[in-house]
Amino acid sequence: MSFFADKRVMVTGGAGFLGRHLVDKLKRRGCRNIFVPRSAHYDLVQMQDVERAYQDADPDIVIHLAAVCGGIQDNSKRPGTHFYSNLMMGVQAMEVGRRRGIEKFVALGTVCAYPKFAPIPFNEDDLWDGYPEETNAAYGLAKKMYLVQSQAYRQQYGFNSIFLLPANLYGPGDDFNPETSHVIPALIKKCFDAKEQGEEFIEVWGTGKATREFLYVEDAAEGILLATERYNRSDPVNLGCDWETSIRDLVDLIVKLTGFQGEIRWDSSKPDGQPRRRVSAQRARAGFGFEATTKLDDGLKKTIEHYRKMRQG
């Protein structure tokens, strides 16, 4: 029988980008009782709404995906919002789960929590060896507090919570709003807009020298569910694919796959963000058998095709 068959599972953020993929996988695993607290009815920054969500869901397991997130531009514009909203949502959700004695709480962190100049690949033991990259430090530090809370609650209360650190996510259903999107959806939209409007160039922030590791959203959802089923420690665990690509190479690939034939202009006055990002996936492999399977070009093709259909209505 499936691990989830007789579990009541609350997925905060279950209607979002990652959440929709995770909920779909939960259903395919035989989970019959899934509760998704929608933001229109539950403001999880407010404690009374967190308590009401728990009362309505009566969960055995909580997978906390809800977050305020975005790319460099959005993090630079709204660092206070990113800090406060993410801190309060996660800390309160875990506290209410602890009070109610739920079986397990799964907290999702972020690769932005790592120090700006952490050794490559990022190892979980290096999390506290420096300050995060400045443009997303508020977001990264708010999320890292879930780890502090998880370990403190296990020590004091024996509360079963885990903390996962996914690499940069991408895939079908991503946020393509230029004000809040991350690099991949932002670039895809720029290429489609430029083709449609007959523009001769697109402008890209930074120098292109920074590197990133991109994890396909369905792989991330699978990793989270494997950890939920099999991992029961508060030591942080990365979810990644153990490779990185430069932003310049990423742009070249997206330009090729979208068919944009114009010029790429780099605006080096804008920030690159963290110089390099690549996580070690060793602990996830050893701890719960997670292995990312989607190659970047395959994932980009699926994402671009999804976006093409979305634009066509």
204 inside domain:
no
What tens digit of pLDDT does each residue of 299-308 get?
999 999 999 9
Residue 71 confidence (pLDDT)? 79
185 inside domain:
no
- Residues 146, 90 contacting (CB under 8 angstroms): yes
Complete DSSP assignment for 219-262? HHHHHHHHHHHH----S-EEE--S--EEHHHHHHHHHHHHT--S
255 inside domain:
no
181 confidence band (pLDDT: 50, 70, 90): confident
Average pLDDT value for residue range 270-295 = 95
Report whether pLDDT(288) > 90. Answer: yes
Q: 42: burial class by Cβ within 10 Å (0-12, 13-18, 19+)? A: buried
The rounded mean pLDDT for the chain is 96
What tens digit of pLDDT does each residue of 5-54 get?
999 999 999 999 999 999 999 999 999 999 999 999 999 999 999 999 99
Specify the CATH number for the domain of residue 59: 3.40.50.720
Residue 21 confidence (pLDDT)? 98
Number of domains in the chain: 1
What tens digit of pLDDT does each residue of 206-263 get?
999 999 999 999 999 999 999 999 999 999 999 999 899 999 999 999 999 999 999 9
CA 4, CA 20: separation in Å to the nearest integer?
A: 17
248 inside domain:
no
What tens digit of pLDDT does each residue of 87-107 get?
999 999 999 999 999 999 999
Residue 72 confidence (pLDDT)? 79
Residue 69 confidence (pLDDT)? 85
287 inside domain:
yes
What tens digit of pLDDT does each residue of 42-75 get?
999 999 999 999 999 999 999 999 999 887 788 8
Instruction: Report the phi/psi class of residue 119: left, alpha or beta, with left for phi > 0 and alpha for psi in -120 to 50.
Output: beta
Range of the domain at 81: 8-174+214-242+278-294
CB atoms within 10 A of CB 295: 12
Report whether pLDDT(1) > 70. Answer: no
206 inside domain:
no
Residue 178 confidence (pLDDT)? 83
**Helix (H) or strand (E) run with residue 177 in it:** none
What's the distance, Cα to Cα, between the start and end of the chain in Å? 40
Catalytic (active-site) positions: 139
Alpha-carbon distances, residue 264 vs 191, 199, 200, 248, 278 (angstroms): 10, 11, 9, 10, 25
Q: Which amino acid is at 49?
A: D
CA 121, CA 24: separation in Å to the nearest integer?
A: 31
- Taking alpha carbons only, the member of 291, 288, 172 closest to residue 240 is 291
Share of the chain above pLDDT 90, in %: 92
17 inside domain:
yes
- Packed helices 183-197 and 296-312: angle between N→C axes, nearest 10 degrees: 50
253 inside domain:
no
